[in-house]
Structures are given as structure tokens and as C-alpha cells.
Structure 1
């Protein structure tokens, strides 16, 4: 099972992620959305019975990538 938490994905931005979570509402919303989608994917992947369809799981993975791209753009600003 791969670790897709943002601090694992962007270890060079751990401090900036923490600062933005505290001080930027738009970033905080992206962060929370990413973490929720990531947790849902992990739940489905770890569940031996997989209570979702492959299509739904793939859609969630695409959403996670999109959110990660948005977050990366935030991190690269300023």
C-alpha cells in the first residue's frame, strides 16, 4: 500500500503545508478535500471485499491526482 499523504508526496514542503493549512482558507479546503479522497481510496484498497466499483475507484484516483496538482501549484507560488 503506497502512502499518498501530502507530507509524503511533498516532503520538501512540510513546513509550507503546515503554514498554509493555518493561514490560507483556499489551501485548507484543498488539503481537507485531498485527505478525504485519499482516505476513501485507502479504505477501498485495504478492504478485502472492495465495496465499490473499479470505475468509482479510478474516478477517485483521478480526483486525487487533480487535487494534488492544484496543491502543488499552491506550493510553488510565492
Structure 2
């Protein structure tokens, strides 16, 4: 997966895992490792941007609120 095919946060994480594996490989040259390091820095910046601009859809927000309400009512009943 190249950097141009990274569109989602999961894609970023998968590519980062690939980079870690490649750098840890015994046959990885210093030059190649440095290129991968540069790519990892760019991917990290992209991931931060994705997190900073993330917005829930109305449906996702409603599901999150519903789940939180269920968790709250469940934790209150176990405290009593």
C-alpha cells in the first residue's frame, strides 16, 4: 500500500504497520529505512489531521449517545 492509496485512518495504521515491519527487516538498508521514516512522518501528520477534522454523522452521534445512556444506566444500577 503506497501513501497515495491511504484514504482512511485504518489505511494509515495499516501502512504504518507495514513500515515498522520493513524497517525491522534485517535486510533493510539505511537509505530505504530513512525513506520509510519520512513516509511515516507524513502519515503521522495525515492521521493527526484526520483526527482533528473528524466529525460524526447525525446517525453516529445518536448511536453514541444511546450507547452512553445505556452504559450510564447500567453503571448506576450496579452501584446501588
Q: Same fold (TM over 0.5)?
A: no
- Greater C-alpha Rg: 2
TM-score (norm 1): 0.44
Q: Which has the higher contact order (CA 8 A, sep 6+)?
A: 1
